[in-house]
Structure 1
């Protein structure tokens, strides 16, 4: 896939010589160092996207002439080294190197005290699906807002000092065992650490602005450490080892709670969550309709619930939906994957 955008139109491919046309390059073709994929693009192009082209060398693309480049996407290629970006780095707002073969972070602009040459415009950096083991050489990117490290080999949250503008940090699918060093990024509003090996919800207190926490598919056995996260709106903690709903006393802003695929037996400690809109609790051990009614009927904002895969559904297949609907009242709009129809809502 090749695409680009610019304030000036691209030069049309030559009708006399099809070898000069960028449209001749197809996914799977090896890009040699002496080829210039971008030969047809004007110097003032602001976006370049080269996906699935087996590119192995960034310097071979000769990017230096694109001094107004704001977005560079080199997804799903064979790049091993971050290099050859010196000419375009200072203008970049978004750099996407998702799904390559990068093992270490390097050459993202100078890291000294001087601003000259720094990548001060960069707001989004995606290094997901690579082979990175350590977070380093990013702390000087002080205007960075979104940092993606999904599916790498990272074992520690570190070296984020200086990222005072960072609002979204994605570390899902790595090798984390501990939540740590988050006091260096208090501006975070989203933290994604699903599919790691984290055993405890700890060291989250500095994240006063956090709105979304995803800690799915870890080794958590207790909901805790959230008392200072009063801005929290969405908590995704499915596929862990929870046996009890607890620790949410201060999270009055919570809109979505996902506790799917745990070992929870009782619906409890939720009645105070007056802003709760969605409760995903499938595949647990919940067996009491009375608990559901007692705990959730007074939560008037609640619109969606998931209870399939629990004893209340497996043991009452024909009456389950109607019992849940009657227990939670007319404000409920969805049970599991199905919307409540108007005719169903009128049945008493």
Structure 2
């Protein structure tokens, strides 16, 4: 519990810091006051319509991806598993790319996230159909890899055939992931999917703990493996679909955060779910603050920062784990 409370304190501190970081030359105290005081005029509008949605999305998306990563690693009993493994992020990105390329995103204010959510739904349906009702974890992984590869190929095809260079440029930048220029509309669009997904994953806590002893032992303890898999896939798909729909592709959060926190929770999947949720929120918040402080005039993308930080850290963890092997 101390770990969770400590992480929660860091998360709340970063939330307050995120609200005060920006190009405007305003003190932190004035920024926080303007959030609740309309007398500050334009600053209140900036706080309520730009900074607050961005800070909230960093927490919502980071927490969702962290929790989904912990659930996937617990279900597959593989520390290298991550939420995108089931192909939902790739199919959501394909839906968004099609919306940008066809002009659907420009014709409808929420066309882009709606198309991304539709792509995520199609992706998870195809994965579950390919895996079958009785397929094991290996079948699920293979189905996810197949859908991810197909989505990536179709995304490349759309880029290749795009006759509008501006649309192609917009597609590339969107796929890098970002929280800039998001509003409360995006928060309310993303939040239900993340909450539903988190609720589904929370139900799997006992089953994931039992699964650490092996599938046979888990079944002996009364765990329905088919229901467990359905909940993990559905919860992960809802979180990744909702997150990708409003922020684009943000990688490494669900991969690195559970890996870092696992030794601190005694390798218990049920406890790791909640620790990773808070840890994921912290990682995305830190990355989003870094985006605003490092080259603010060049619009550095959030997904680029998480990859630059996450990949070397993950490589270090792999090297450290290898050294500990006999």
Q: Normalising to structure 1: TM-score of the pair?
A: 0.18
Larger radius of gyration: 1
Bigger share in helix? 2
Higher relative contact order, chain-length normalized (CA < 8 Å, sep 6+) = 2
Q: Normalising to structure 2: TM-score of the pair?
A: 0.19
- The structure that is strand-richer by fraction is 1
